[in-house]
Structure 1
Amino acid sequence: VFDDMLLHVDGWLCEIKDAAIRDGLHVLGQAPDAETEVDLVLAMLRARQLWGGSQSLPGLREALGLVENDSSRGDVDRVEQIARDLVSTCADDDWSTEAVAAAAADHPDEVGEILTFAATEVVPRLRQTSREIDQVLHALDGGFIEAGPSGSPLRGLINVLPTGRNFYSVDPKAVPSQLAFETGRAMADSLVERYLADHGEYPASVGLSVWGTSAMRTSGDDVGEILALLGVAPVWDEMSRRITGVELVPLAELGRPRIDVTIRISGFFRDAFSHVVTMLDDAVRLAADADEPDSDNFVAAHARAALAEHGDARRATTRVFGSRPGTYGAGLLQLIDSKQWRTDDDLAAVYTEWGGYAYGRELDGVAAVDDMRAAYRRIAVAAKNTDTREHDIADSDDYFQFHGGMIATVRSLTGSNPEAYIGDSTRPDAVRTRTLHEETSRVFRARVVNPRWLSAMRRHGYKGAFEMAATVDYLFGYDATTDVVADWMYEQLTEQYVLDETNREFLQQSNPWALHGISERLLEAVERDMWHEPPAELLDELRRVYLDAEGDIEERTES
């Protein structure tokens, strides 16, 4: 047992140490230089490189022999240090051909190919960041700005660089791409395997929040996962690579029951991917119409039960919900900021009123709050995926609004929490599923209270202070909806954000409103018993800083 614990701790430390931490915010027209450039190139070279159509290169660590999912902390540290030494050596000689050849001499051929790729493609494209201001001015002058693809360069899509171009998105009729469907299928397998390990049975229904920005970055990882859970596969046109329809995967090939999926789409996804919304609805109906036993097809089982209840076949298969046509968001940010809420029922009422509109074939935002609530009562797993290391669940209010709101709504409707999972496809070849508690702890340790991140934010003055305050707000929102923030986290936020002398002085000088907001939010957590047992001395100090910040703001306003 002790050996198992040591392995678990080793794996956990490995994840925390290996997390990519942003070293500050992007400044328009400012290209990374020196050590910052080395760090960014290393981060980009972790992923498999998709380049030139059929050409593909492994990640640098993979080429050096690291097996990501089966490596100890020592293996990761050793290979990461080798990779850093190689990149630093090349950078010291400004990525010359001779430096690349010398650095790669004692390593497999693929290492040389990757370093050459970095020297000829990655670094030159990164250094063109300095043209961003010129491009903005050229556009304002009525000049032509060339187009370029969108996506995340940390997922092997180096062709999205250089920045400063008019980026274009994906063809909605080609979502999911074949690669995205394979990634989505791996994510579905990971989710099911995690639930099986945790509960010893298959989840009858999964709730998943789907965003348009993610679909653009990945060409449809989330969509691929939904189809895979349903046991449905896309049919692509060989020439255009567009989706022409969907087909059932035979149960024998699927190897498990078809899992019901309830989908909460964002307003942007609704607007940009209406064709995909229709396809998802078709996929649900296809699975629901299959002549299969309830034990092998949870979609059909739930549809049959709903049909017997109200007799409406269209309502019985409604699984895609979103905000009213022309509106956006989930409503919880406004509610939490107003402080006009007390219980899960308050959160659920707003979440379902805002999101209780049905979408799909013959459905264009029809009011369907009752059907949404019926679908949510079945949810065993509430999931949200992350697809890029460029931000995390404490970087945006949308995470707690959509994912946290789903969890709070299920809890309000059923009296118990669904399993809360975060799917990680930041590396499509090594997807994984974590619980929300695991992901929150990982993000908290790796970024939120990481001195490197705090120091980086302090370089950005007012905006850096705003980012700190926003992080506290988003964690508070997640805790309000999911009870995921532990007392020790609130203590560390208080100690490092408010009471640390260096950070407090920075906030007082750069953005006293941020210091006031952080203190107020932490005190609200105490008042709502979300921070259950704050140390008395710490709480007194927090109240003192809050009152001082309030006085400081009043003086600035009056002057």
Structure 2
Amino acid sequence: EVRRVLEFAATQVVPRLARTTDELDHVLHALTGGFVPAGPSGSPLRGLVNVLPTGRNFYTVDPRAVPSRLAWQTGQAMADSLLRRHLDETGAYPESVGLSVWGTSAMRTSGDDVAEVLALLGVRPEWDEASRRVSRLDVVPLEELGRPRVDVTVRISGFFRDAFPHVVAMLDDAVKLVADLDEPEERNFVRAHTRADLAEHGDQRRATTRIFGSAPGSYGAGILQLVESGNWRDDRDLAEVYTAWGGYAYGRDLDGVPAADDMRANYRRIKVAAKNIDSAEHDIADSDDYFQYHGGMIATVRALTGADPKAYVGDSTTPDAVRTRPLADETARVFRARVVNPRWISAMRRHGYKGAFELAATVDYLFGFDATAGVVHDWMYEKLAAEYVLDADTQEFLRESNPWALHGIVERLHEAARRGLWAEPDPATLEALTEVYLEVEGDLEDRSE
């Protein structure tokens, strides 16, 4: 077995990794009108060695084959992990889970998130043996399921909407299938919520709507623009924008119908707001999308109910060891492992202007998560100030490579203190930050003259 693994590494993995230089070669070849060979998409970290070498014109998955059999196994494990975490913390199953689902993740994993939604609902996909496409959905009996059917509200990205319309319809079918089951409401939360909504407005189609996203042709969650402008006061402002951008219903015969009221009705029930990560190549402080979609969902639920939902991050980077962490724990883990890791900061210095930009962007993303989910503690802000601004080497690098980034970092830290997110900043730290801010502002004014 060891010989077989080593032979595979020597004959397949190493040569494919060695050909990553194809990226530059193929770009130059394409610019001269040459042909770029095609290859599959996906993540090498998920065992997909066939996606290597990179630098090819990749093609995506078959939407009708999502979720795959492997994704179904992972999605079941993720659903079980989430429910076990909630059960351990509260002693009860959540009646409704809110899940952010992205198209890029679906392509990398062939549908882990989609499989998790089906698993929570208690619905099993069946595949056609020849095409490997999902051919039908079967209900898992309550006796076999061993728990209640959990309602799921899905916030899809614009890219998921565009790339996987068939999957959107399939998830909608799964909700209707479960809502129509003749089961006790305390064992079928989807049925219970559907009947409550029917009593409210009498519209069956609205009562089974669980998939929401941006308006047709638009993308994003709107939170980034609000946070960048600073034009917000509290959760209600964040929720209003999140709902305005994401309050459009999708499913069979629902191609982005305005449905803000139905979205609010479903979000009021959310007990767990979840987002999954499937690759170690990036983390929740690496992109604004994480705090926009996940943080925006948390802030919206809090604005609607007056209480925080449980905020979880599902980790399937190792499919055989799926785990669920509280968002606060994941934030602290990422903060220590990367954000203030001297090796990462040193690596960013080697990238000049862009490296400085990444430092500033990381501060922005953490601030956004704190504004929406309240997961950044005072010690983290103190550490950011010490390592990104007041450290002599890093400050000198920022001043020389990208003084606008340094200006933005200090500005964001000041805003955190002003808004009370950084609840009790050290006065000496704030004074030092102010001094740096004034010096950099003067330098930038001199440059503009």
CA distance in 1, matches of 2:138, 2:197: 24
CA distance in 2, matches of 1:387, 1:238: 27
User: 2:82 maps to what in 1?
Assistant: 191
User: 2:114 maps to what in 1?
Assistant: 223
CA distance in 2, matches of 1:315, 1:378: 15
User: 1:527 maps to what in 2?
Assistant: 418
Residue type of the partner of 1:295?
E
CA distance in 1, matches of 2:236, 2:17: 49
User: 1:273 maps to what in 2?
Assistant: 164
Pairing partner for 1:408 from 284, 299, 304 = 299
CA distance in 2, matches of 1:411, 1:150: 37
User: 2:268 maps to what in 1?
Assistant: 377
SS at match of 1:239: coil
Range with greater deviation from structure 2 (383-392 or 131-140): 131-140
1:299-448 alignment to 2 at 5 Å?
A: 299-448=190-339
CA distance in 1, matches of 2:443, 2:284: 32
Q: CA RMSD in A?
A: 0.8
How much identity, in percent, do the aligned residues show? 72
Cα offsets for 1:125-178 (capped at 9, x unmatched) = 111112322211211222211111111112211211111110111000100001
CA distance in 2, matches of 1:233, 1:143: 46
Matching of residue 170 in structure 1 with residue 91 in structure 2: no
User: 1:251 maps to what in 2?
Assistant: 142
User: 1:90 maps to what in 2?
Assistant: none
- CA apart distance, 1:541: 0.4
SS at match of 1:393: coil
Pairing partner for 2:439 from 548, 551, 554 = 548
- CA apart distance, 1:262: 0.1
Matching of residue 507 in structure 1 with residue 398 in structure 2: yes
CA distance in 2, matches of 1:140, 1:414: 54
CA distance in 2, matches of 1:368, 1:427: 37
CA distance in 1, matches of 2:60, 2:442: 48
Residue type of the partner of 2:424?
E
Residue type of the partner of 2:330?
E
Residue type of the partner of 2:6?
L
SS at match of 2:26: helix
CA distance in 2, matches of 1:441, 1:372: 31
SS at match of 1:358: strand
User: 1:490 maps to what in 2?
Assistant: 381
CA distance in 2, matches of 1:125, 1:548: 50
Gaps of 5+ in 1: 1-108
Matching of residue 155 in structure 1 with residue 46 in structure 2: yes
User: 1:210 maps to what in 2?
Assistant: 101
Matched residue count: 449
Cα offsets for 1:320-352 (capped at 9, x unmatched) = 000000000000000110110001000000000
- CA apart distance, 1:115: 2.8
List structure 1 segments (4+ residues) > 3 angstroms apart after TM superposition: none
SS at match of 2:186: helix
CA distance in 2, matches of 1:117, 1:240: 28
1:15-54 alignment to 2 at 5 Å?
A: none
- CA apart distance, 1:114: 2.6
SS at match of 1:379: coil
1:92-131 alignment to 2 at 5 Å?
A: 109-110=1-2, 112-131=3-22
User: 1:84 maps to what in 2?
Assistant: none
Residue type of the partner of 2:151?
D
Q: TM-score scaled to structure 2, two decimals?
A: 0.99
User: 2:177 maps to what in 1?
Assistant: 286
CA distance in 2, matches of 1:556, 1:121: 53
SS at match of 1:296: coil
CA distance in 2, matches of 1:354, 1:120: 49
Residue type of the partner of 2:252?
R
CA distance in 1, matches of 2:417, 2:249: 38
CA distance in 1, matches of 2:390, 2:8: 46
Cα offsets for 1:341-396 (capped at 9, x unmatched) = 00100000000010000000110000000000000000000000000000000000
User: 1:91 maps to what in 2?
Assistant: none
Residue type of the partner of 2:316?
S
CA distance in 2, matches of 1:325, 1:544: 47
Cα offsets for 1:443-478 (capped at 9, x unmatched) = 001000001111111111111111111100000000
1:442-481 alignment to 2 at 5 Å?
A: 442-481=333-372
Matching of residue 234 in structure 1 with residue 128 in structure 2: no
CA distance in 2, matches of 1:492, 1:505: 18
CA distance in 2, matches of 1:174, 1:202: 30
User: 1:46 maps to what in 2?
Assistant: none
- CA apart distance, 1:118: 2.0
Residue type of the partner of 2:18?
R
